[in-house]
Amino acid sequence: MERYTVKAVADMAGVSVRTLHHYHDVGLLRPTSSTAAGYRLYSPADLERLQQVLFFRELGFPLHEIKAIVDSPTFDRGEALRAHRQLLVARRDRLGQLVELVDRTIDEIEKGRPMANEERFAGFDDPKLAEYREEARQRWGHTDAYKESSRRAASYTKVDWAAIQAENSAINDALAGLMDREPADPEVQGWVARHHRQIDERFYKCSAEIYRGLANMYVDDPRFTATYDAVKPGLAKFLREAMLVYADTIA
């Protein structure tokens, strides 16, 4: 049976060697064998498990939940993959609609092709998105966190908002400058901790679950993505990964 080194698997899967070491340390993905010198060797079955881990990770699951799921005696890989596919297709369709809307808007600007108002906002009225928003409202709208955020925001002066914005810019600029590092890098995590603390202290008590949801929103919602990628392309995705790592540490 063929075996793969940690470097080969990292290159194949598009993850870092450090990430694979971390997955090993937390018991999420332990290679089935090693060389006489102690180097990790991954089997085809290990690669299948890694693929499943990365699918769950892409959907925002924390590592400890992924481990519990894939280790469960009742875990059905085929069923999980079908569920992943459904969610990914929904995300693809949503992004495809927005790409088409951007293209039509560019044509309006560059070629003078007018757009009807209904067409101009067609990409923002996806029924699935409305369902997600309603679900979010029902899930968080009645919570103490939501109410606390509204109460605090209403009390802030222009000076307060300027200070919040300045701190937010400092955090974003620092993280943009660290994008060549791993999301789990201690300095990156230090700035993410500051990002979490700003939310927790300025707006509402931000649990690990809420923070994970916010992390995924930075990538899933084009408006958030555009805001962070305006600082540096790719920052939204990098910040999400770093936030998910941090959420695992405070869960």
Query: What angle is formed at CA 88 by the lines to CA 103 and CA 142, rounded to 5 degrees?
Result: 95
Q: How confident is the model at residue 133 (pLDDT cuts 50, 70, 90)?
A: very low
Q: Residue 106: which domain range?
A: 76-125
Of 103, 104, 100, nearest in space to 115 by CA: 104
pTM of the full structure: 0.47
Domain identity same for 98 and 185: no
Of 24-33, 40-49, 96-105, 174-183, the poorest mean pLDDT is in 96-105
Highest averaged pLDDT of the listed ranges 22-31, 57-66, 116-125, 145-154: 22-31
pLDDT score of 139: 45
pLDDT score of 148: 67
92, 110, 125 - which closes a domain: 125
The answer on pLDDT for 115 being more than 80 is: no
Domain identity same for 23 and 67: yes
The answer on pLDDT for 232 being more than 80 is: yes
pLDDT score of 121: 60
Domain identity same for 199 and 86: no
User: How many structural domains is the chain composed of?
Assistant: 3
pLDDT in tens, 149-194: 667 777 778 788 888 888 888 898 999 999 999 999 999 999 999 9
What CATH number should be reported for the domain holding residue 26? 1.10.1660.10
Domain identity same for 60 and 113: no
Domain identity same for 244 and 130: yes
Domain identity same for 237 and 160: yes
pLDDT score of 130: 46
Domain identity same for 206 and 217: yes
pLDDT score of 210: 86
pLDDT in tens, 79-108: 777 777 776 777 677 777 778 878 878 877
What integer is the mean pLDDT of 229-248? 91
